[in-house]
Amino acid sequence: MSNDRIVVGAIAGSFGVKGEVRLKSFCANPEDITIYAPLYDDAGKEYSVKITRPIKGGFAARLSGIRFKDEADALRGTKLSADRELLPALPDDEFYHADLIGLEVLDTGGAKLGKVAAVLNHGAGDILEIRGPGQKGSLLLPFTKEAAPTVDLGVGRIIADPPDDDEADG
């Protein structure tokens, strides 16, 4: 997949028996996902999107080329991306997750902590998963102004101030 595309949604499976899909939108305004069409899967296949109605957890939608339930079922888990140029510019303190992945992470003393491997969100805010050489597991860092005070996309790094272990336990 091209770096010029950003994931804006995912297919959660089929909806009904006539080829509609369950569409989860990752857009700030969920219904805006159609504005960014055509959307692309990881293989680069292009889809036009038409929302047919809101449903619990997203939308029922029609995708071009999908006419039957088994075709919609086969797309379960497919991430859909839009061309970056169609997406809105973000304020200085907001970032697309795709732009954070791969950034080098240093602590406030300049020691390398690793690189951002993923951006997780389980409902309480974004968490950076940082992996580095010699680490047994991943370092999880809350993506807050306090824990990641500096994000410099131009240089490709984040300066982190991880919470102390006793703060995290307390």
Prediction pTM value: 0.74
For residue 95, CA distances in Å to 38, 74, 100 come to 22, 31, 7
- 73: which 2 tokens? 């079922």
Buried b (16+ CB within 10 A) or exposed e, 40-66: bbeeeeebebebeeebeebbbbbbeeb
At residue 165, the pLDDT reads 62
- Amino acid letter for position 67: R
Pairing of strands 58-63, 5-15: unpaired
Helix (H) or strand (E) holding 73: helix 69-74
Give the pLDDT confidence score for residue 3 in this predicted structure. 64
Q: Is the peptide bond before 38 cis (omega within 30 degrees of 0)?
A: yes
Can you name the residues that pair with 39 across neighbouring β-strands?
47
Tokens at 32, concatenated: 């805006």
Task: Delineate the domains of the chain, giving CATH numbers in brackets.
Answer: 5-86 (2.40.30.60), 97-169 (2.30.30.240)
What pLDDT score was predicted for residue 50?
96
In the numeric block, the tokens 């102390």 are attached to 164
In a structure prediction context, what are the per-residue pLDDT tens digits for the chain, which is 170 residues long? 446 899 999 999 999 999 999 999 988 889 999 999 999 999 999 999 999 999 998 999 999 999 999 999 999 999 999 999 999 888 888 898 889 999 999 999 999 999 999 999 877 789 999 998 778 889 999 999 999 999 999 899 999 998 876 544 44
pLDDT for residue 48: 96
Per-residue CA distances from 159 to 2, 119, 121, 129, 137 (Å): 27, 16, 20, 14, 20
